[in-house]
């Protein structure tokens, strides 16, 4: 099993290309199930989750081909992929596939809308909480679907087309908003989604669906209106840059010190998080090619933060921010409101010398003057990269084990950081 070895203490300077967003690419890929034409997606990242979803879509009959790279960009950091679901050969998403990636459950929406039926395995729990699918099922039922759960599978059927309706999300859910957006695009009549997620990835999906012929307004607000159409066509669409990767590397610069251009990054996708990072003492400067982040060696200021749905501070940056706060000059409080059990990185950061105490869903971080390298273990995707951030500033050697978590969401992380002067390498077993 691969590991990542880091020797801390180096400032990082240079340029880091920001990849396409995993959280945008996955629902866009699933949207290919809605049409028998080709959907071409640009800026698709090389990630384990993307490869797994390609296999899952193939099980339903989706063909794909890779076209190469965007102009003037390293092939390693971008692909253009054509997805064609000319005919759906199987409306069942089996447990052995869905259990490997929760987002694969989202195929239930397009399959039901296009084929009138879907049998999809329940995804089960995960390392950061149960993350139930109740809202997905309630929303589909509001559109006229009949839902049964048997032997660990959700069996969804409809007589003919789904029917537009008004649905109010009891709580904000990015995944359920994705699914109902796709399903309602082919429903008969108008659907109004209230208390919908506002994340940039929702907007990216809605823009793609509109390019395919859907009629969606209000994406990016809490009320989305979808006027269902009879059929969708193919389209060409670009995956937005990854705001979580952007925030992660911005925090890495704030932690290690240095001066880095995050190429292709868009400040509007994570302004709330950038404002928090700036409060720690790092400079955040929009430039023509992306975002410039620099810290000249001054201390890291402690900042309290609470995770919130967009446009608030993202839960997917909470672990990274905790890594940064381990060396802040004072105490900070980090409160997690989105997922339970998302503090598993605390014990691993403690192995590096961090002082963190937990009080319910709040972590109190008492910054230390120095961290010391140690072997640590990744527990989930975002937790794993918090250990990398801490390791960049720790004295001596840090070895991060179980880095397959990193490969799910960060494209060639060690290459990007080592290209800017960090001492970091992958050790293959």
Which of 210, 218, 213 has the alpha carbon at shortest distance from 193?
Answer: 218
Per-residue pLDDT of the chain (429 residues; tens, 9 = 90+): 899 999 999 999 999 999 999 999 999 999 999 999 999 999 999 999 999 999 999 999 999 999 855 444 444 567 999 999 999 999 999 999 988 888 899 999 999 999 999 999 998 644 434 457 899 999 999 999 999 999 999 999 999 899 999 999 999 999 999 999 999 999 999 999 999 999 999 999 999 999 999 999 999 999 999 999 999 999 999 999 999 999 999 999 999 999 999 999 999 999 999 999 999 999 999 999 999 999 987 899 999 999 999 999 999 999 999 999 999 999 999 999 987 777 889 999 999 999 999 999 999 999 999 999 999 998 887 788 999 999 999 999 999 998 888 888 899 999 999 999 999 999 997
Q: Is 23 annotated as a binding residue?
A: yes
Which of 223, 235, 213, 102 has the alpha carbon at shortest distance from 172?
Answer: 223
Q: Is 134 annotated as a binding residue?
A: yes
Using CB atoms within 10 Å of the CB of residue 429, give its burial: 0 to 12 exposed, 13 to 18 middle, 19+ buried.
Answer: exposed
- Distance in angstroms (rounded) separating the CA atoms of residues 256 and 355: 19
Identify the active-site residue in 88, 115, 122, 126.
Answer: 126
Instruction: Check residue 381 and give its pLDDT.
Output: 75
- Distance in angstroms (rounded) separating the CA atoms of residues 40 and 34: 13
Q: Which domains does the chain have, with CATH numbers?
A: 3-18+241-427 (3.65.10.10), 22-238 (3.65.10.10)
Active site residue 126: yes
Q: ω into residue 217 within 30 of 0, thus cis?
A: no
Q: Is 22 annotated as a binding residue?
A: yes
Q: Is 242 annotated as a binding residue?
A: no
Q: Is 372 annotated as a binding residue?
A: no
Instruction: Check residue 24 and give its pLDDT.
Output: 98
CB 338 within 8 A of CB 307: yes
Identify each DSSP E strand in 169-220 by its residue range. Answer: 190-194, 215-217
Q: Is 174 annotated as a binding residue?
A: yes
Q: Is 82 annotated as a binding residue?
A: no
pTM, to two decimals: 0.95
What percent of the residues of the chain are helix, what percent strand, and what percent coil, each to the nearest 5?
35, 30, 35
Q: Is 173 annotated as a binding residue?
A: yes
Instruction: Check residue 68 and give its pLDDT.
Output: 55
Instruction: Check residue 125 and give its pLDDT.
Output: 44
- H-assigned helices in 220-344: 243-256, 271-279, 318-325
- Distance in angstroms (rounded) separating the CA atoms of residues 87 and 226: 25
Q: In sequence order, what are the residues at sequence separation of 6 or more whose Cβ sits closer than 8 angstroms to the Cβ of residue 180? A: 109, 136, 139, 140, 143, 167, 191, 193
């Amino acid at each position: 099993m691969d590991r990542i070895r880091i020797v801390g203490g180096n400032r990082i300077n240079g340029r880091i290309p920001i990849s396409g967003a995993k959280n945008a690419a996955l629902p866009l890929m699933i949207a290919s199930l809605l049409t028998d034409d080709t959907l071409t997606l640009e800026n698709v990242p090389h990630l384990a989750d993307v490869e797994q979803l390609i296999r899952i879509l193939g099980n339903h009959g989706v063909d794909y081909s890779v076209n190469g790279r965007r102009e003037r960009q390293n092939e390693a950091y971008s692909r253009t992929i054509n997805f064609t679901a000319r005919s759906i050969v199987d409306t069942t998403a089996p447990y052995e596939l869905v259990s490997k990636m929760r987002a694969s459950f989202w195929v239930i929406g397009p399959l039901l809308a296009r084929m009138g039926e879907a049998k999809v395995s329940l995804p089960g729990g995960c390392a950061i909480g149960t993350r139930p699918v109740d809202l997905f099922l309630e929303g589909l039922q509001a559109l006229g679907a009949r839902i049964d759960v048997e032997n660990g599978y959700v069996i969804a059927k409809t007589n003919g087309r789904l029917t537009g309706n008004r649905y109010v999300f009891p709580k904000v859910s990015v995944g359920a908003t994705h699914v109902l957006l796709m399903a309602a695009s082919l429903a008969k009549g108008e659907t109004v989604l209230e208390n919908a997620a506002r994340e940039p990835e929702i907007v990216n999906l809605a823009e793609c669906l509109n390019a395919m012929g859907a009629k969606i307004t209000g994406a990016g607000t809490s009320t989305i209106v979808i006027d269902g159409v009879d059929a969708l066509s193919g389209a060409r669409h670009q995956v937005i840059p990854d705001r979580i990767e952007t925030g992660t590397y911005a925090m890495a610069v704030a932690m290690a010190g240095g001066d880095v251009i995050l190429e292709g990054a868009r400040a509007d996708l994570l302004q709330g998080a950038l404002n928090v990072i700036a409060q720690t003492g790092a400079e955040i400067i929009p430039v023509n090619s992306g975002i410039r982040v620099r810290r000249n060696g001054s201390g890291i200021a402690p900042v309290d933060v609470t995770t919130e749905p967009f446009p608030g501070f993202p839960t997917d940056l909470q672990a990274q921010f905790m890594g940064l706060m381990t060396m802040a000059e004072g105490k900070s409080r980090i409160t997690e409101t989105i997922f339970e059990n998302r503090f598993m990185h605390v014990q691993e950061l403690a192995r590096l010398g961090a002082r963190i105490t937990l009080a319910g869903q709040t972590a109190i971080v008492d910054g230390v003057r120095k961290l010391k390298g140690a072997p640590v273990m990744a527990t989930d995707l975002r937790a794993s990269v918090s250990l990398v951030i801490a390791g960049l500033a720790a004295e001596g050697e840090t070895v991060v084990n179980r880095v397959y978590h990193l490969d799910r969401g960060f494209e060639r992380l060690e290459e990007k950081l080592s290209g800017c002067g960090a001492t970091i390498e992958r050790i293959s077993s």
